[in-house]
Amino acid sequence: MNFEATFEELYPGLFRYCHRLTGDPDLSEDLAQEAFVRLYDRQVEGTDEGLRSWLFRTATHLVRDRYRIGENRRRLLEAHPVEPSGAEPPDETVQRKEEVAHVREALEHMTEREREMLMMRHAGFSYREIAEAVDVAASSVGTLLARAERNFASIYRPPGENG
Amino acid sequence: MTHLDDGRLRAMMDDELSDSDASSVRLHLEDCNPCVTRLAELEERSALVARALTQLDTAAPPTGAHSAVLERIKASRPSRASRPTRHDTRAEPPRSDGRGRFSRTPFARAAMLTLFLGASVATALPASPVRGWIASGWARAVDLFSSPENALTPVSPPEYGGPISNGDVGAQDGVLPGVRVDITGDEISVVLRGIDSGTTIVVRMVPGREAGASAGDPATFRTAEGRIEVLNAAGVVFVDLPQEATSASIEVNGGIYLRTAGERTDVTGTILLRTTDEIHLRVP
C-alpha cells in the first residue's frame, strides 16, 4: 500500500469527519492519526473505497470509545466556553461561536448513530458504506437518515432565526 | 393511493435505488402531488443539514500530521511487535518470494492469508494509490496458486442432512437481525444463497467459539449444528468466524469464497479490503 498517498488523500476528510463529530480539534487530530496508525499496524489492503470505508468506520468506533455522552458535554463546554468578561471578542467570532453552538445543540438531541449516519452521508458515503460502518441494514439507511434529519431540523434554528 | 415512505424518497433523492425501483418511484411521483411535496421537503431539510454541518468546520487539518503518524507508528512498534501470540514462531510474514506457508494465529489470521486478488480489482483502479500493492499481490497470488502444492481446489461443503431451524430474527429499527451459533466439532460452515449482486460480505475473525451472521431485510436465517444459512440478503452481510474453529468455509451462491483448513486460509471471492482480522468481499 502506498501509505503516504493514501494519507494525503484521506486524512483531511477523516480529520473533518472527526471534528464534526467531536467538536474538539485536538481530539480529532488524535483520533484521525490513530485510525491511520491502525491502518498501518493491521496491514490493511484494499480498494480506494474499501480503505476509505475502513478508516471512517475505525474513526467512528474510536469516537464512540473515547467520546461518550458525559465526556462529550464536558468537552463541548471547554471547546465553546462562555466568553469571559474583559476583552471583547470581535462580533464575527461571537456570531460564529453561536452558530456552532446551535448546530451542536441540535446534534446533542440526536442519537449517536443518527449523528454518525448524518456525518457520513454528508461526507459523501453510500448507503452501503454507512450500513457497514454503523451495523444497520442498507435498506434501512434512507429511513434512518430521513428521521435523523427530521430530528435535527426540529431543534436547529439557522442563523437569523434564533430569536 | 398508497404514498411512498420517507426512506424510499430519501433513497431516491440520494440516487440509491435500483434502476427498476427508481423507475417505479418516478412513475408514482408523476401522479402524486403529496409525495412530490414530501420529496421537496426532504431535499430542503437535507440542504439545511448540509449547510449547518459546514458551520462545524472551524478547524483545518493540522500540518505535520503525516510525520506525527509515522512517529506514532515507530513508537508503537516495539510494544506491538513484542505482544505474545500462541504461535509466535509461525507468525512471520511471508517470504519475499511469496511462497511462504501462512500460519494461523489467533491474532493475525490475515498474516497467513493466501490472497487471491481479483485481476478486475487492479484493472478497475488505474489511478489508485493502492494499485501498486494490488499488482504485486496479484503477481504473488498467481505465483502461489500456480504451484501444485499450493493450488486451491474448490470443494463444496457437504450438504447438511440434519435438522435446520429458523434463526433468531427480529431486531427492530434498522439494527441488523442475525443468528449466532456455538461451534461444535471445531468446524463451521456459512452458506449464503440468493445473495444479490453487489452485496458486500464482511468477514470478521472473532475470538472464541461462536460464529454469527447478520444482514438486513429481506434476509432470512437458518441454523444447524456447525452451520449457518443466510438466504436472500442484499447490501451488507456480516459473517463472524470464530478463531478457535479449525475449519471454516463461506459459500456464496454455490461458490466457495473463503475457506480455512489447518494452517491456511484461501480466499477466492473478490476482495475489497483485508486487515489482520477482517476481509471484505464483494458479490459480483
Complete DSSP assignment for B248-263: EEEEETTEEEEEEETT
Listed residues A25, A56, A79: the one ending a domain: A79
Together in a domain, B80 and B199: yes
Q: Is B275 found in the same domain as B219?
A: yes
Measured between alpha carbons, how far apart are the two ends of chain A, in Å? 52
Same domain, B158 and B251: yes
Determine, yes or no, domain membership for A132: yes
Q: Is residue A85 part of a domain?
A: no
| d(CA A49, nearest CA chain B) in Å | 8
Shared domain check, B215 and B84: yes
DSSP strands (E only) in chain A:
45-46
Pair (A22, A73) in one structural domain: yes
Which whole-number Å values give the CA distances from A41 to A112, B81, B274, in the listed order?
Answer: 27, 10, 12
**Digit-coded pLDDT (tens) for B227-282:** 999 999 988 999 999 988 889 999 999 999 999 876 678 888 888 898 888 899 99
Residues B24 and B110 in one domain: no
Q: Please give the residue of chain B at the shortest CA–CA distance from A54.
A: B273
In this structure, is residue B122 part of a structural domain? no
- For CA atoms B124, B130, B136, B140, the dihedral sign is negative
Q: Is the domain of A105 the same as that of A68?
A: no
Residues whose CB is less than 8 angstroms from the CB of residue A141 and which lie 6 or more positions away in sequence, other chains included = A117, A127, A130, A131, B7, B11, B16, B174
Same domain assignment for residues B96 and B189:
yes
Query: Would you say B236 and A128 are in contact if contact means Cβ atoms under 8 Å apart?
Result: yes
Nearest to A45 among B133, B217, B236 (CB): B133
Q: Across the interface, do A33 and B280 touch by the CB < 8 Å criterion?
A: no
Q: What residues make up the domain containing B15?
A: 6-54
Shared domain check, A43 and A100: no
Q: Is A15 exposed, middle or buried (0-12, 13-18, 19+ CB in 10 A)?
A: buried
Which of A29, A57, A79 delimits the end of a domain? A79
Hey, are the CB atoms on B10 and A145 less than 8 Å from each other?
A: yes
Q: How many domains does chain A have?
A: 2
- Which residues, 6+ apart, have CB-to-CB distance to B60 below 8 Å? none
**Judged by CB atoms within 8 Å, which residues 42-101 of B form the interface with A?**
42, 45-46, 48-53, 55-59, 61-62, 65-66, 68-69, 72-73, 76, 80
Q: Is A56 part of a structural domain of the chain?
A: yes
Same structural domain for residues A144 and A114?
Answer: yes
Q: How many CB pairs under 8 A join A and B?
A: 214
The answer to whether residues B35 and B112 belong to one domain is no
Q: Are B49 and B161 found together in one domain?
A: no
Chain A residues near residue B55 by CB distance under 8 angstroms = 96, 99-100, 103
Query: b vs e for B248-265, b when ≥16 Cβ sit within 10 Å of the residue's Cβ?
Result: bbbbbeeebbbbbeeebb
pLDDT tens digits in sequence order for chain A, 163 residues long: 788 899 999 999 999 999 999 888 999 999 999 999 999 988 899 888 889 989 999 999 998 887 664 555 555 556 655 455 556 666 777 788 888 999 999 999 999 899 999 999 999 999 999 998 888 888 899 999 999 999 999 999 887 665 4
Q: Least CA distance to B16: which residue of chain A?
A: A127
Q: Which of B252, B231, B174, B236 is closest to B199 using CA atoms?
A: B236
Chain A positions in Cβ-Cβ contact with residue B39 (cut-off 8 Å): none
Compute the average pLDDT of residues B176-191.
Answer: 86
Q: Name the band, by pLDDT with cuts 50, 70 and 90, for residue B35.
A: very high
Spatial distance between the Cα atoms of B171 and A154, rounded to a whole number of angstroms: 27
Same domain, A94 and A127: yes
B241 and B166 housed in the same domain: yes
Q: Which of A57, A74, A92, A62 is nearest to A23 (CA)?
A: A74
Do B29 and B96 lie in one domain? The reply is: no
At B195-232, the pLDDT tens digits run: 999 899 999 989 888 999 998 878 889 888 889 999 99
The residue ranges of DSSP E strands in chain B, in sequence order, are 113-114, 165-166, 178-182, 187-193, 200-206, 210-215, 220-224, 227-231, 236-242, 247-252, 255-261, 264-267, 270-274, 278-282
> Which residues in chain A touch residue B280, judged by CB atoms under 8 angstroms apart?
46, 50, 53-54, 132
3-state secondary structure of B93: coil
The DSSP 8-state label assigned to residue B174 in this structure reads: T
- Residues A73, A113 share a domain: no
Structural domain harbouring A128: 90-163
**CA distance to partner chain B, nearest, from residue A155 (Å):** 11
Phi, psi (deg, nearest 5) at residue B229 = -120, 135
Name the residue in chain B with its Cα closest to that of A124. Answer: B14
B132, part of any domain: no
Residues A60 and A17 in one domain: yes
Give yes or no: residues B180 and B274 share one domain: yes
ipTM at complex level:
0.83
CATH of the domain at A95: 1.10.10
**Rama region for A124: left / alpha / beta (φ>0; ψ in -120 to 50; rest):** left
Asked if A11 and A17 touch (Cβ cutoff 8 Å), the reply is: no
